[in-house]
Structure 1
Amino acid sequence: MTPLTDDELTALLDGLESDRAERKQSWRGDAPEKGRQAVCAFANDLPNHALPGVLFVGARDDGSPTGRDFTVTDDLLQTLADIKTDGKTVPPPTLTVERRVLKGAEMVVVTVWPSDAPPVRYEGRIWIRTGPRRGLASAQDERVLNEKRRHGDRSFDTHPVAGCNLAELNRSQFEIEFLPQAVAPDILAANGRTYQERLASLGFIASVDDPTPTVLGVLTLGKSPRTWVPGAYVQFLRVQGTAWGDPVIDEAELDGTLDMVLRRLDDKLKAHLSTAVYFTSGVVEQRHSAYPMSALQQLTRNAVMHRVYEGTNSPVRVYWFDDRIEIHSPGGPYGLVTRKNFGQPGASDYRNPALAGVLRILGFVQRFGFGIAESRRAMLANGNPAPEFQVEDTFVLATLKRAA
């Protein structure tokens, strides 16, 4: 992800027929909507340039600077950076936002790298770019993007599962429950795509020609996910005490599809979340939880989303002691995240980008990259110490301590 030079950016500004550049005079009116569509299109890289596309804010259609009517502010830079994390574009795009001086004037340069797991959707629609034209992908365009993913796969969640067949996926769950959440109503109403084409477009099978379910397909729609991905479950223990070896009063292996696992885990957490009741003046009741539910959800969902699924039979483990909760996620830091910057603002990467997109579609993730920050905020607001993290090469352990 080497930044483009001034000369490279100037060439893109001047290349009016280029499918790698979009220009906006400001970030007002319809610019935010069209700008996000452009980011989606650059991430899809339908022409297969394998080069970044650039959204310029502060440039006219002819490539000249907007001039005095445009000012680069910190708020604008943050707003543009939020395109990556606001959850509207899935899988989350890889992009950078910079203030640059080009042609003697300040502009904002949003550089978008091609996705490893296309097609990328913005609010349920696949946007593409060919030449200066930006538009919605056709069924054939989707097929091309799916083939790009199949031949360029880097993340394990998009790999086909050897020996698995299409009958292992729950078709009614896909068509009745998942599709209406994943695809915009107008695209869905067009009804011009077959069952296999829709599965392939969403990354649930390898391709239309090879309908082998992917790891993502099995985890999302599988009739028996754990048969094919042995570690795809959560082990829950409620220990009566504070040490290993103390009595276990509740134990469960929570398996099934992603949706089922996370909902069952929420039910377990809520059932064990003790609430102290205090009375003031005998009539007003005040409740205080030992842990904030939002922090538990953020960190357990992070553990499922960011864990390694390849080469391990280990589940996510949630062990609830009397004085703390330990959440153990297989797999250490990934990509741009290291032991040193783990949990710091802006330090995020995705071992399973397609799976992260599915969790966003299912409603378990609202924004990308904010889970740890939200858990810290919620814990401190509830009177708990901040979460503690042990980050190793093969696992991440989050420990939440009970409020006094």
Structure 2
Amino acid sequence: MPSITDLWRQGENSAVEFKSASVRPESLAHEMVAFANTDGGSILLGVEDDGRVSGIGTELDYEQWAANIARNNVVPALDARLSIERLENQRVLLIDIPKGRDKPYQTNTNQFLVRVGSTNRVATQQELMRLFQQAGVFHFDLTPVERASIQSLDLSKIDAYFQRYDVDFEQDENRDGLLINTDILTEERLPTLAGLLVFGINPQRYLSDACISFAHFAGAQIDEELIDKQVIGGTLDRQVEGTLAVIKNNLREGSIIEGAKTRPTDYYYPDKVFRELLVNACVHRNYAIHGSRIRVFLFSDRIEVISPGRLPNTVTIEKLRCGVSYAVNPVLVKFMENLRFIDKLGRGLPMVYREAVTHDRQVIFEEVGEEFRVILGLHDQA
């Protein structure tokens, strides 16, 4: 945690805000809400906008005052960390706002705000949708795909899916009702996003970015020579299997010949590792983010799988390693689980982590902006 002096020297930015001691309660609430809805941040109360340290007086219990604002002017109430610090021989109140666990937050005047650079602004409809999705209040995979219809679905694949459960879809007199009850269609008889992504004939006709971009670079940087580049579309199960085949085709397993046998010279990840990363990216990405695809980058020393969307409110990087999971797209998870691509026990990413660590490989789970990234080392760490 940086000291208050370090924060002050940074100046105002996406994680630091200066406020005069004379700030109005509603203005301070705006800062709290914006930080909580984004990545958290620190407010230095007693520092002017130009960075001059003016301090806070002793006539008011500022800690209690700020705590009351966090509880009464923010909805839901926010648990801020407060402390009086010394800065330039002045008393300053340091208000640490954590990344919110109960997003979306709003002011008591019903404003949803987000932090952008060193300023706050009212959340757009798309940003608000993402916040509600992170909270589990809204599931985008249940929304209708407006231009699609039941003719956009592969009925033979749906029939094979139901046959697993001894349901004769072809002979069912109420096929539309069956599709509605299983979330493949909405009540208006439009394909759901989940239904189209799993059972669609050509999902990318309606969801152009619901695919995987693969790129293989000769070196360790993105500006190196491009060896291979592909876009893998189709339904999610085909995207996973197709991208897995592309990865294996581009990865070269080092080996030596000993007598009549070939022996690998380096550990080679099993298919289940790459399959898990691809399935995780497909079912947990935020499909409400338009203009962004899942991206798989293969470098000389690592592979990166980048998925649009942040982790849900209650999930942290540390929890992922321990198997804690939350379905951002529960219908997609249900379909892919029933197709035997995943289970709901949260064992996938912990398995990837163990495989890498056991063989002394780098493994990083991280959030970068509005994306979740997994970096998997391909060679022993030096």
TM-score, length of structure 1 as denominator length: 0.56
Alignment of 1:250-399 (within 5 A): 250-280=228-258, 282-287=259-264, 288-339=266-317, 341-381=318-358, 383-399=359-375
Alpha-carbon offset, residue 193 of structure 1: 4.8
Over 3 Å off, 4+ runs: 187-193, 288-292
Q: Is the 8 A contact 1:335 1:350 kept in 2?
A: no
Alignment of 1:101-140 (within 5 A): none
Please give the per-residue CA displacement for 1:56-87, whole angstroms capped at 9, x wherever unaligned. xxxxxxxxxxxxxxxxxxxxxxxxxxxxxxxx
Please give the per-residue CA displacement for 1:268-322, whole angstroms capped at 9, x wherever unaligned. 1221232122345x24432344433322221121111110001322110000011
Query: 1:275 and 1:378, CA in 2 relative to 1: closer, same or farther beyond 3 A?
Result: same
**1:179 counterpart letter in structure 2:** F
Alignment partner of 1:178 is 2:161 = yes
Rounded Cα–Cα distance in structure 2 between residues aligned with 1:348 and 1:267: 27
Alignment partner of 1:222 is 2:200 = yes
Query: 1:309 and 1:190, CA in 2 relative to 1: closer, same or farther beyond 3 A?
Result: closer
The residue that corresponds to 2:151 in the other structure is 167
The residue that corresponds to 2:73 in the other structure is none
The residue that corresponds to 1:133 in the other structure is none
Alpha-carbon offset, residue 189 of structure 1: 8.8
Query: 1:295 and 1:386, CA in 2 relative to 1: closer, same or farther beyond 3 A?
Result: farther
Residues paired across the two proteins, number: 244
Query: 1:264 and 1:213, CA in 2 relative to 1: closer, same or farther beyond 3 A?
Result: same
Rounded Cα–Cα distance in structure 2 between residues aligned with 1:360 and 1:191: 25
Alignment of 1:66-215 (within 5 A): 154-175=138-159, 177-181=160-164, 184-185=165-166, 187-188=167-168, 192-207=172-187, 210-215=188-193
The residue that corresponds to 1:143 in the other structure is none
Rounded Cα–Cα distance in structure 2 between residues aligned with 1:386 and 1:293: 18
Q: Is the 8 A contact 1:273 1:289 kept in 2?
A: no
Please give the per-residue CA displacement for 1:319-359, whole angstroms capped at 9, x wherever unaligned. 001111111010011132135x4424242111001101111
Q: Is the 8 A contact 1:389 1:399 kept in 2?
A: yes
Alpha-carbon offset, residue 249 of structure 1: 1.0
Rounded Cα–Cα distance in structure 2 between residues aligned with 1:189 and 1:227: 25
**2:270 counterpart letter in structure 1:** P
Q: Is the 8 A contact 1:165 1:211 kept in 2?
A: yes
Alignment partner of 1:402 is 2:382 = no
Query: 1:178 and 1:313, CA in 2 relative to 1: closer, same or farther beyond 3 A?
Result: farther
Alpha-carbon offset, residue 192 of structure 1: 4.8
Q: Is the 8 A contact 1:165 1:212 kept in 2?
A: yes
Query: 1:276 and 1:266, CA in 2 relative to 1: closer, same or farther beyond 3 A?
Result: same
Rounded Cα–Cα distance in structure 1 between residues aligned with 2:170 and 2:260: 58
Alpha-carbon offset, residue 390 of structure 1: 1.7
Rounded Cα–Cα distance in structure 2 between residues aligned with 1:335 and 1:188: 40
Match of 1:291, SS? coil
Q: Is the 8 A contact 1:274 1:289 kept in 2?
A: no
**1:246 counterpart letter in structure 2:** E
Q: Let me know the Cα RMSD of the aligned residues.
A: 2.3
The residue that corresponds to 1:109 in the other structure is none
Larger CA Rg, structure 1 vs 2: 2
Query: 1:303 and 1:403, CA in 2 relative to 1: closer, same or farther beyond 3 A?
Result: same
TM-score, length of structure 2 as denominator length: 0.59
State the percentage of identical aligned residues.
24
Please give the per-residue CA displacement for 1:114-153, whole angstroms capped at 9, x wherever unaligned. xxxxxxxxxxxxxxxxxxxxxxxxxxxxxxxxxxxxxx98
Alpha-carbon offset, residue 252 of structure 1: 0.4
The residue that corresponds to 1:146 in the other structure is none
Query: 1:227 and 1:179, CA in 2 relative to 1: closer, same or farther beyond 3 A?
Result: same
Gaps of 5+ in 2: 1-135
Query: 1:296 and 1:351, CA in 2 relative to 1: closer, same or farther beyond 3 A?
Result: same
Rounded Cα–Cα distance in structure 1 between residues aligned with 2:329 and 2:173: 26
Query: 1:190 and 1:234, CA in 2 relative to 1: closer, same or farther beyond 3 A?
Result: closer
Q: Is the 8 A contact 1:329 1:396 kept in 2?
A: yes
